[in-house]
Chain A
Amino acid sequence: MNIAVCIKQVPDTSATISIKPDKKGIDESAIKWIINPYDEFAIEQALQLKEKIGDAAKVTVISVGPAKVQEALRTAMAMGCDEAVHIQTEDRWSLDHLSVSKVLAHAVQEAQAKLVFLGRHAIDDDSGHTGPMLATMLNWSQACFVQTFEWSDDHIQVGKDLEGGRTQTWKIDLPAVVTTTKGLNQPRYASLKGIMAAKKKPLHTKTLADVGVDASAASVTWSEFFVPVQERKRKIFKDGLPGDVEQVVTLLREEAKVL
């Protein structure tokens, strides 16, 4: 069985974000790039499934973006993915999510995958559109925010946490798109041996024209980036209880008016 994993390269969670002078995007020059943390759970789940199935399984990792995303694809192959597909774009923001899902659907079909894993959302644009859109493009079932995963021949069984303290278990026919969240597994680190092996694994590069996508007519465009500044009162109390609590409760009622 062929399994696909779609990953996105994003700024590190500890990165400080600053805005370009034209306010049309962020300054990417000083940013350290990582694989989207939710996509790491997707890679790990695909690799665990491959280990269970054995040699009959192949894991293809796919990413859309500028040349730099090849670093993320190499890391994924160092973790154990068999091959990579990179669909090259000029930058990270001009392709909209409808087009991204179209590009990914093309790559997933080309990889002849029956199951696709991707993170629940990427921590750069925080949208979570790609999983459900990809499922729609492929006309496959979707299972989002998955925290437990079991596979058997023609279906999968997944568990998810709902809001308000409920959990659900779903049985989903293959082919399917699964979006992964924290708690599903513990992503492995790439071993030195894995890193060496990844250098020899195939990485296929394609252009948008190769997959028949026109990036010029984006459904959504972005402008007026800014860093919000929130002034805080910073009234700190350290005189002991219960006086400190009484003062804060009074301020919450009379100054902040939130109680």
Chain B
Amino acid sequence: MSSIFVYVESKQQKLSSSSKELLAKASVLAKQAELELHAISIGHNHSSIAEELKSFGVKTYYLSDHEQNLPIEGQAYAELIASICSKANPLAVLATASAFAKTIFPRVAQLLSAGIVTDCVELSWDANHKLQAQKPLYSGKCVATATIHTNCAIAVCRPNSFLEKGGEGLSLCDTKVETVEAVSRHVGARLIEEKEVTASKVQLAEAEIVVSGGRSLKSGENFSILEDLAQVLGAAVGASRAAVDAGYVPHSMQVGQTGKTVNPSLYIACGISGAIQHLAGMRTSKTIVAINTDPEAPIFQHCDYGIVGDLFDVVPVMTQSLKKILHQ
């Protein structure tokens, strides 16, 4: 029987919320096309994850439990995933568009000669049982439908895109856990050092809530007032290109056409004017709040709720107000 594979990632021994979202979607696609659903992960074996996979109707959980808790270089990951997939001839392989997946799955696609689409926001089958993916182009200035014609289709999907919550697809089943040996070999790449540089743990691209700052923050230190607000909300902190170009914060925090594209349920833009290249990175946010001193700033044309005022006054009041409400 043909199948769909989902590459899943875990956080604190639980499936990540993006992986659950993807499994819910995959489960519906599997049901529609009468396919089996399998999951793959690389990392330590957590029995709790196998338990979670049951509810999505996952038949087999392929787990490569590498011994050392060291990141393997991309090539080795890609070869492992491709070799697991090639045994089962899946019609589709799905993954969440993390920075990691974006460097691995093009390699997997090449190894499997599979068509690939990255940053999919909707998936469906066409009349010929080919996978179709909706994908934003030009940083979301337009959207198009990609039809993947190869026998195996790879879709790397943007987090927070699908409406399925789980339970709409395949029914509960017993998940078989299959351990896969990772073949270790010389890959010509060694990790020399890994460092924590900032305290923010919420990943921008997957965040449910994003608080962003522009050049009006005036310095990197001043971003701490956004971090205070972000902490109360469990949000990630982002920045406009102007703030990154001014050297306040690293490029990894930039939202926009030459930075990250985010898709949160709430986006709070503080002191951001709303240049077209910034809007391109956050326009799909479900709700947008703008705080700006200039009532004519373009961002107010693209927000749901706006406050005309100095972010240095408004943001701390908002932080206090939310602290009170959310702790009730």
Contact = CB atoms under 8 A, between A and B. Distances in A.
Nearest to A124: B138
Interface stretch (A60-68, A106-114, A206-214, A235-243): A235-243
A135 B198 contact: no
Given A171-B192, A233-B304, A249 B119 contact: no
Among B107, B205, B261, B265, max chain A CB count under 10 A is at B107
Interface stretch (B56-64, B214-222, B276-284): B276-284
A165 B325 contact: no
A89 interface: no
B254 to A, nearest CB: 7
Interface stretch (B29-37, B161-169, B316-324): B316-324
Contacts of A14: 276-277
Nearest to A251: B305
A91 B106 CA distance: 23
Given A163-B98, A221-B149, A236-B306, A126 B119 contact: yes
B140 interface: yes
Given A225-B144, A236-B300, A143 B189 contact: yes
A94 interface: no
Contacts, number: 282
Contact of B321 (A123, A230, A245): A245
A170 B190 contact: yes
Nearest to A256: B287
Interface stretch (B39-47, B109-117, B170-178): B109-117
Nearest to B319: A245
B257 interface: yes
Contacts of B289: 248, 252
A14 B137 CA distance: 14
A167 B116 CA distance: 28
A141 B220 CA distance: 35
A166 B119 CA distance: 23
B109 to A, nearest CB: 7
A169 to B, nearest CB: 4
A123 to B, nearest CB: 6
Interface in A94-134: 96-98, 101, 123-133
A13 B144 CA distance: 19
B204 A163 contact: yes
Contact of A228 (B71, B140, B325): B140
Contacts of A48: none
Contacts of A80: none
A249 B321 contact: yes
Interface string A138-176: 001111110100000000010001111111111111001
Contacts of B67: none
Interface in A12-57: 13-17, 19, 26, 37-38
A126 B325 contact: no
Given A228-B140, A236-B306, 13 more contacts: A15-B138, A38-B258, A96-B115, A97-B109, A132-B103, A137-B110, A141-B188, A142-B103, A143-B189, A173-B189, A219-B116, A233-B305, A252-B287
Interface of B: 71, 73-75, 78, 98-100, 102-104, 106-107, 109-111, 113-119, 136-150, 187-205, 209, 233, 244, 250-252, 254, 257-259, 261, 265-266, 276-277, 283-284, 286-289, 295, 300-309, 313-314, 317-318, 321-322, 325-326
Q: Which 5 A-B residue pairs are closest in the complex by CB-CB distance?
A: A219-B115, A165-B198, A173-B188, A132-B106, A238-B308
12 contacts: A128-B103, A140-B188, A163-B98, A167-B193, A220-B147, A223-B144, A234-B306, A236-B307, A248-B289, A248-B307, A251-B304, A256-B304
